[in-house]
Amino acid sequence: MFQITSAAAALAGAITVIAQSAALPANCDRSYTVKLGDTCDIISATQNVSTYQLAAVNTGIIDPECANLYEGELICLGITGQDCNVTYVMQSGDTCSSIAAAAGIPVSTFLTNNPNVNPICTNIYPDEVFCTASQIYVNLTSTE
């Protein structure tokens, strides 16, 4: 939702001279270099990574508001074995039930793979990106 402004990008460019990107996790199986104008939603939509997964993989690197991306930043998109790349970009009017039905998966699978969505599905927004895989990728009890 947040865009890199030219001023922020210029500042970020200056900062990258002295601060290198954080190293990617050793078990990262997909990475991406941030482009000017990217937002987390844009990256999620174009790279097939859910909003939840992008945030979870980059905890402590991308802030919760996704306001600190910078051009040229190298980020990880998925961790081996937990990398859902079957995704759907929410359109206005979609519900968890309609998204799950269109993907041919139970709502419970949808909610398990997208733990940022509340159980009554009242906190989703257009352009949010969801994992719609039939396989379970998110295991909150055995991860963080």
- Between CA 36 and CA 68 the distance in angstroms is 12
DSSP assignment of 111-126, as one string? Answer: HHH-TTS-TT--S--T
- Please tell me the chain's helix, strand, coil percentages from 3-state DSSP, rounded to the nearest 5: 30, 10, 60
Q: Which is nearer to ligand NAG, 110 or 137 (CB)?
A: 137
Torsion-angle region of 108 (φ positive above 0: left; ψ -120 to 50: alpha; else: beta): alpha
Q: Which is nearer to ligand NAG, 64 or 81 (CB)?
A: 81
Alpha carbon separation from 46 to 14, 20, 99, 101 (Å, rounded): 27, 25, 18, 23
Q: Which is nearer to ligand NAG, 53 or 58 (CB)?
A: 53
Tokens representing 110? 């949808």
Show the binding pattern over residues 10-49: x = contacts ligand NAG (CB under 6 A), - = does not: -------------------------------------xx-
Q: Which is nearer to ligand NAG, 97 or 135 (CB)?
A: 135
Residue facing ligand NAG at closest CB distance:
139
Show the binding pattern over residues 66-85: x = contacts ligand NAG (CB under 6 A), - = does not: ---------------xx--x
The CA angle 126-129-131, to the nearest 5 degrees, is 140
Show the binding pattern over residues 113-142: x = contacts ligand NAG (CB under 6 A), - = does not: ------------------------x-x--x
Q: Which residues bind ligand NAG (CB under 6 A)?
A: 47-48, 81-82, 85, 137, 139, 142
